[in-house]
Structure 1
Amino acid sequence: MSSAWGEKVKISIFGESHGIAIGVVIDGLPAGEPIDMDAVLEQMRRRAPGQDKSATPRKESDFPRVVSGLLNHTTTGAPLCAVIENTNTRSQDYGNLLDVPRPGHSDYPAYLLYHGCNDIRGGGHFSGRLTAPLVFAGAVCRQILARRGIRIGGHVASVASVADIPFDPVQIPDQLLEELSAAYFPVIDVEKKEEMRALIEEARMAQDSVGGVVECAITGAPAGVGGPLFGGIEPVLSSILFGIPAVKGVEFGDGFGSCALRGIENNDPFYYDETGAVRTRSNHAGGILGGITTGMPMVFRVGIKPTASISQNQQSVNLQTKQEQVLSVHGRHDPCIVPRAVPVVEAAAAVALMNFDGILTGGNPEGGWRA
């Protein structure tokens, strides 16, 4: 089982949902970078369970214990390792799932791949619990990026049929990203949040779940970073985003919407701004052309499926008796994971950006970025 990602800055996530602990090793961080642990803990709290009825009632402190790589709150250049203890587990709720897999979950294919030896408790290594170490890694990386003027923020773009206001792809204020990246259940239109909560509550009371979309933006990244084909911004970023449990789709800029446009509509006209930097008047490309940053805001969306673990009876099979069987799922599960997925998406973006040459050194200043 490979749970490592990255080349320039590499993360390796370990543990299981109901094991003793989960954690991450981050290799390749530059030395001498101050890390504010209070800011790290703020990001961990945004993802943590048990905050309201839209999330699982399982409560975990998600406190990361750093065991290497930091000295006096500053990176040493050695691998940075953080461990997060699991303290609130009810493994008995999962006793029947090794034999009777959950529809929509990894139980069945994992059973085949690991010959029935996989840890099924709480989803084991396939659980959304494993996004906590990813958020820690992202919280560290985003501080390093922020000192270079790079900001990352996301919001709940939609929950089922209820949609928030999308980002203005051309002008995204720093203050907006800062507010969103500090909030639990971040939205741009606060009135939409209550509509979303009502829809989630309706699903919860029906012993069901709903999905939605996270929209994320990156500003301040230098132009001229990335590359063609497989090393471009989109493929690299997508590869870590699809590692987040429940992610079923990623699109950049207008994404599939651009497929209905003509070239003259989809192309973003260039111009020089008042500082002499190259900009575009629109941003259908989402700040990326040919896999390379243009200097405009990078905007992308991530589709999150409904939580697979629901309390309604579902049709499944018994892998031991070889008979069809009705499954009743027990345990504590999120009726909607979209709000908690926002900091995870932001974290994945931060880790991904750290893997591009030029992201910390300014890229190509002729492309529209100024120190």
Structure 2
Amino acid sequence: MKTTIFWLASITCLPSSAWALSLYMGTGNTFGRTFRISTFGESHGGGVGVTVDGCPPRIPLTREEIQKDLDRRRPGQSRITTPRNEADAVEILSGLSPDGITIGTPIGMLVRNKDQRSQDYMDNDMKVAYRPSHADATYDAKYGVRAIAGGGRSSARETIGRVAAGAIARKILKLYNNIEILGYVSKVQDIECQNVDDDTFTMEQVDANIVRCPDPESAERMLERIDSIRKDGNSIGGVVTCVARNVPAGLGSPVFDKLEADLAKACMSIPAAKGFESGSGFAGTLLTGKEHNDEFYIDPETGATRTKTNRSGGIQGGISNGENVVIRVAFKPTSTIGKEQNTVTRDGTEVSLRGKGRHDPCVLPRAIPMVEAMVAITLLDALMMQQAQCELFPNEAEDINPMGTSVVGRAAPAAATVGGHAEAPKAVDQRIDEE
């Protein structure tokens, strides 16, 4: 206690700017550096929302654009999601002109809670007993108090703010370079989807079934598995794949702020996320360097530098290379289930607990817009950081060929002619010494 009192006393002597920084660094509710979001609210409170700071001015933005993404996230969509009946209607409180143009000031958005049923948590053992693998025990350990009803900030309802902010980021990325971000359920337990082309699948194909898998045959098998688990009062997990197309080369920084590192933090902050992969991920460890490396070539149509394969997932050395950014996020089974489990109460009494309330038997279908939102926010933040550092004085070097899927480079070098037959230029053998 003495240490805590001394620390509090010492920071009050700091300048106001340092005090604000200390407070910001310790709260954990803010994400981003230039495009920054701060979410607020609890699952069973008056509402949840977000403040978006750093949004560029003069961007046309409508409530309907934000609501579209929230509708894909909201509960009660199908039999395999929680039946909680929430419209999740967003209110934009600030940051827009009367004619719907961003004005460069913080954008505040709020979604009011309408259908919370706190008695499901308060009128039984869940009031004092910790739900296994949930945040109940750790919140008590950290704060000494917790929001019992609905899990408070640990509830997936907190992600409403992220998805609303992600809709803004998605709009700006689309305007900037036609960047599109699409996720889909790629695995449910051991059922993995097949025949999905990351270059061409569409949101319409993803949303064509309630599992949100663009491969209809795999989606049907996934649905059967989820239904079986749901009827048994249990839950199930799996993997979400997210693809960002038309991402320009150059986003991200070396060492600590690598693009995949920022994406990993963003995605691992989503409730129930337990694993992250970029590009080839863990499967890449089974390959040799020769098998794994993405060889470069000149695109015969655009003249840009491209890679023949994309095992790097669009990121090399922590910096985007202009190919599709491909990541995967693993989600655990929902913690609260209808089956009886052993646990303890706050005072240390061993008891049995059967979960009550309304919960998803599988979080994956509703996790799609959450992952898309965090990827969009991360990419926009990286894009704005790139503009601030490297575009203040535009790069006018003429000896660097543009790279990626969304640029036009110089024409590919003409093939040499040998004996009347075209022959591609031969590579120059080089020895590369690396530490």
Which category describes the TM-score, using the shorter chain as reference length?
over 0.9
2:151 to 104, 112, 123: 123
For the pair 1:107 / 2:136, whether they are aligned, the reply is: yes
Whether contact under 8 Å (1:223, 1:294) holds in the other structure is yes
Q: Which residue of 2 is the match for residue 315 of structure 1?
A: 342
User: Matches of 2:149 and 2:332 in 1, distance apart?
Assistant: 21
Match of 2:186 among 147, 157, 162: 157
Match of 2:174 in 1: 146
Q: Is this contact kept in 1: 2:170–2:181, CA < 8 A?
A: yes
Q: RMSD of the alignment, in Å?
A: 1.8
Note if contact 1:286-1:298 (Cα within 8 Å) is conserved in structure 2.
yes
- Specify every segment of 5 or more residues in structure 1 that has no aligned partner in the other structure, as ranges: none
Find the counterpart in structure 2 of residue 337 from structure 1: 363
Larger CA deviation: 360-369 vs 216-225: 360-369
Contact between 1:165 and 1:188, CA under 8 Å: does it hold in 2? no
Deviates more, 1:155-164 or 1:349-358: 349-358
Q: Give the superposition deviation at 1:360.
A: 8.3
2:330 to 285, 298, 303: 303
Superposed displacement of residue 35, structure 1: 1.3
Match of 1:227 among 253, 257, 263: 253
TM-aligned CA deviation for residue 98 of structure 1: 4.4
Indicate whether 1:243 and 2:243 are aligned: no
* Letter aligned with residue 243 of structure 1: S
Find the partner of 2:161 among 125, 130, 133: 133
Cα distance per residue 1:223-266 (max 9 Å; x no partner): 12111111111111111111100000010011001111100000
| 8 Å contact from structure 1 (residues 42, 182) kept in 2 | no
- 1:178: Cα distance to partner? 4.0
Instruction: Note the C-alpha offset of 1:40.
Output: 1.8
**How big is the shift at 1:139?**
0.8
Q: State the 1:366 CA deviation.
A: 2.2
Structure showing greater relative contact order (alpha-carbon pairs closer than 8 Å, 6 or more residues apart): 1
The equivalent position to 1:351 in structure 2, one of 369, 374, 377, is 377
Q: Is the 8 A contact 2:67 2:89 kept in 1?
A: yes
For residues 153-195 of structure 1, what are the alpha-carbon distances to aligned partners after superposition, in whole Å with 9 as ceiling and x for unaligned? 01000111221126545xx02xx23435766642221122222
* Change over 3 Å in CA distance of 1:166–1:283 after alignment to 2: farther
Q: Do 1:224 and 1:367's aligned partners in 2 also have CA atoms closer than 8 Å? A: no
CA change 1:166–1:347 in 2 (3 A) is farther
> Which AA in structure 2 matches 1:271?
Y
Q: What is the count of residue pairs matched by the alignment?
A: 365
* Among 203, 207, 217, the residue aligned to 2:229: 203
Equivalent residues in 2 for 1:30-45 (5 A)? 30-45=56-71
Is 2:201 the counterpart of 1:179?
no
* Separation in structure 2 between the aligned mates of residue 180 and residue 46 of structure 1, nearest angstrom: 14
Determine if contact 1:155/1:180 at 8 Å carries over to the other structure: no
Match among 287, 294, 318 for residue 261 of structure 1: 287
Give the counterpart letter for 2:138 in structure 1: P
> Which position in structure 2 is the counterpart of 1:282?
309
Equivalents in 2 of 1:97, 1:290: separation in Å? Answer: 47
Amino acid at match of 1:293: S
- Superposition TM-score, scaled by structure 1 size: 0.94
Is 2:251–2:386's contact at 8 Å kept on the other side of the alignment? no
Give the Cα–Cα distance (whole angstroms) in 1 for the partners of residues 70 and 195 of structure 2: 25
SS at match of 2:328: strand
After TM superposition, give the deviation of residue 359 of structure 1 in Å: 7.8
| Counterpart mapping for 1:54-65 below 5 A | 54-65=80-91
Which protein has the larger Cα radius of gyration, Structure 1 or Structure 2? 2
Report whether the alignment pairs 1:293 with 2:335.
no
Percent identity, please.
Answer: 39
Cα drift, residue 70 of structure 1: 1.3
TM superposition score normalised by structure 2: 0.81
Contact 2:34–2:385 under 8 Å retained in 1: no
Q: Distance in 1 between matches of 2:253 and 2:385?
A: 12
One-letter amino acid of the structure 2 residue matched with residue 296 of structure 1: E
Q: Deviations over 1:73-97 (max 9, x none)?
A: 2111000010000000110111233
Structure 2 distance, partners of 1:82, 1:32, is 18
**Aligned amino acid, residue 318 of structure 1:** T
Say if 1:153 and 1:177, in contact at 8 Å, map to a contact too.
Answer: yes
How many Å apart are 1:357 and its aligned residue? 3.8
Distance in 2, matches of 1:217 and 1:359, equals 21
C-alpha distance in structure 1 between counterparts of 2:317 and 2:238, whole Å: 28
The question of whether the paired residues in 1 share the 8 Å contact of 2:252 and 2:386 is answered with no
Which amino acid is 1:135 matched to?
V
Deviation at 1:358, TM superposition (A): 5.7
One-letter code of the match for 1:307?
T
| One-letter amino acid of the structure 2 residue matched with residue 288 of structure 1 | I
Gaps of 5+ in 2: 1-26, 396-400, 409-435
Rate the CA distance shift 1:256–1:154 in 2: closer, same or farther, 3 A.
Answer: same
For 1:346, the aligned partner's letter is E
Structure 1 residue 149, shift from structure 2 partner: 1.0
CA distance in 1 between counterparts of 2:195 and 2:29 reads: 32
8 Å CA contact 1:17, 1:122 repeated in 2: yes
Q: Tell me the secondary structure at the aligned position of residue 84 of structure 1.
A: strand
Q: Which amino acid aligns with 2:213?
A: V
1:165 is paired with a residue whose SS is coil
